[in-house]
Amino acid sequence: MQNMFRYFATAGFSALLAGNVLVARAQNVELVTKAEKEIEVVEKGAKVKKLAPPEKMVPGDEVVYTVSYNNKTGKPAEKVLITNPVPKYTRYKDGSATGDNTDITFSADGGKTFATPDKLIVTIKDKSGKDITRPAAAAEYTHIRWTLKQNVAPGQAGSVRFRAVIL
């Protein structure tokens, strides 16, 4: 799992990777990314779903990526962007990106441009070699970007999430 993490932000950052957790710092915000697997357990006689560190992952398994952010400084963080590539050897699960109070956009060109799914296009060659454009499929997304709609106040925390399927 360690090679599946890469993190981008609007400002310089430092990162430390340990197991299935990536810790990064950008602007005044600490970011912690976890890769987990949803499992079903029995609690008090009822089946419940929980997230747990993956012990073994195989093609077809779904990984849940959660990026938690926390402003541990005394200054507000402004215009925070969290940009996460879809990890290598995985495919983004359509409709799985979530984040309260965020605008979510996607890239299908390696993170060069971002748009909402209804406006995201790809250019391909037709049989004659002519370039044609068409809407991008979720399986073609290369990056996900969350734009926080508000500043992150000192002490404020939150998280964003997406799912990917191992190829």
- Render pLDDT for 47-100 as a digit per residue (tens, 0 to 9): 999 999 988 889 999 999 999 999 988 989 888 889 899 999 999 999 999 999
Q: Output 133 or 21, whichever has higher pLDDT.
A: 133
Q: What is the DSSP letter of 93?
A: P
Give pLDDT, residue 72: 87
Cα(20)–Cα(2) distance, integer angstroms? 6
- Of 46, 53, 38, 77, the residue nearest 165 (C-alpha): 38
Phi, psi at 4, each rounded to 5°: -90, -5
Give pLDDT, residue 28: 76
Q: Output 34 or 8, whichever has higher pLDDT.
A: 34
Q: What is the CATH number of domain 2-166?
A: 2.60.40
pLDDT at 12 over 50: no
Give pLDDT, residue 6: 37
- Of 11, 66, 30, 28, the residue nearest 151 (C-alpha): 28
Q: What is the pLDDT of residues 15-56, one digit of tens each?
A: 333 345 555 555 678 888 899 999 999 999 999 999 999 888
pLDDT band at residue 135 using 50, 70 and 90 as cut-offs: very high
Cα(109)–Cα(86) distance, integer angstroms? 12
70, β-bridge pairs? 30, 157
pLDDT at 107 over 60: yes
- Of 110, 97, 45, 108, the residue nearest 66 (C-alpha): 97
